[in-house]
Copies of this chain bind each other. A is one copy, B any other.
């Protein structure tokens, strides 16, 4: 049966918003709907993320825990019936937090809830103790004279991050987290503090990576929780000099990380690969349930739901659990996405599209497709299938993916995005609070349902996402 036949059911849909031709046949669309509905009550995703986070807890990149979790996940995928399950190792400069503490010192000492930023160096033995100079914008820190913060600790506090459905409050503040330590060091500061990049008011700091300059993070750098940042601000307002003691034994070490790769081989076009990506590593403070155990759960759950459809899809579905997404420092090492790309070589051309789930476990609300597919027939069919579970077409095409599939995207592989509700994501992200209990199983399964239906449509489609991409010159 031609996939371009305008079927009865699609014709019915077309009454509301007509489109010229179908990219899928009727049976494929109906199966997508059936798989979607069945996935809403699946157990696979919740089982995977429960076992992963419970058995291994935090999984920092390159740690024994990440390695053990990868080995376990490979067995888990084999037991689910995936083929060609491999663990692809790569070298990594790991980072261990060690012991750390922070406090306001003086007549009325107060503990501070702090966490070293990823790849931050430890403090000298005995710690760093100095007056805090507070900046309410990054520009204000940049504006002071080089060397003028000698014997001081720089604190940048631009206020609470705004919670947004699309997470758009995050970017501006992480840029400060990335560039802050180097700028503070140039000004002479002995340590760098940043108000946690997060939208909550818990005494749980948000860690996260910071940028290497000349092969390292310049000075010991820490996130302070929002209430602690507010406390420092109020003490300064009361006219007090705030002196802070910071201690950290954080350090880097040589290790390895790994990607776990598992296929559901295509029936008729096995060399056309659809990548479903997420990452296995987590920050060390929580157990990485929402970041990003959930992503693995969603993509594994979707692929497994498709495997149970009774007929293998035409194209190959590849689940990749990437290693080392969180602490990649490109200057000295790589992340899992880069390692996968390098390993594939010419086979990158076989990757027809890639998607990544790395934004928690809350519901999907929008579908973004590669630019050439935006507004086309495939999008129309896909969003009709996804609409009943609350997913609309994104007004923006998807071009970059995230950290894991980003290297594939840069190498020309089209990407899609199933956009998740991030309203509460940054309450939990990179904190000790990123634990299993924060996952809503119903919303997790809505993700599985969306991925299942979309990937089924892609895997049984003739659509060439590459050919529909605008040419680079355009």
Contact = CB atoms under 8 A, between A and B. Distances in A.
A54 interface: yes
Contacts of A107: 68
A202 interface: yes
Interface string A197-213: 00001111000000000
Contact of A110 (B50, B108, B287, B438): B287
A51 interface: yes
Contacts of A51: 238
A209 B189 CA distance: 42
A284 to B, nearest CB: 8
Contact of A432 (B58, B64, B113): B113
B104 A437 contact: no
**Chain A's interface: helix, strand, loop or mixed, by majority?**
mixed
Contacts of A435: 201, 203, 227, 230-231
Interface string A368-402: 00000000000000000000000000000000000
Contact of A203 (B108, B111, B432): B432
A108 B204 contact: no
Given A55-B108, A230-B436, A204 B201 contact: no
Which one of A104, A202, A433 has the highest number of Cβ atoms from chain B below 10 Å of its Cβ? A202
Given A203-B432, A203-B433, A56 B108 contact: yes
A267 to B, nearest CB: 36
A110 B54 CA distance: 9
A206 to B, nearest CB: 13
A79 to B, nearest CB: 15
Count chain B CB atoms within 10 A of each CB in A50, A104, A287 and give the residue with the most. A287
B104 A57 contact: yes
Contacts of A64: 108
A230 B53 CA distance: 12
Contact of A437 (B230, B238, B286, B437): B230
Given A55-B238, A227-B435, A230-B437, A68 B202 contact: no
A250 to B, nearest CB: 15
A231 B54 CA distance: 6
B203 A65 contact: no
A60 to B, nearest CB: 12
A234 interface: yes
Nearest to A108: B56
Contacts of A58: 110-111
Nearest to A68: B108
Q: Which of A57, A108, A109, A230 lies at the interface centre, i.e. has the most chain B CB atoms within 10 A of its CB? A: A108
A52 B397 CA distance: 52
Interface string A63-80: 011001000000000000
B234 A50 contact: yes
Interface of A: 50-51, 54-58, 64-65, 68, 104, 107-111, 113, 201-204, 226-227, 230-231, 234-235, 238, 286-287, 431-433, 435-438
8 contacts: A57-B108, A58-B111, A203-B204, A203-B286, A203-B431, A203-B432, A230-B435, A231-B435
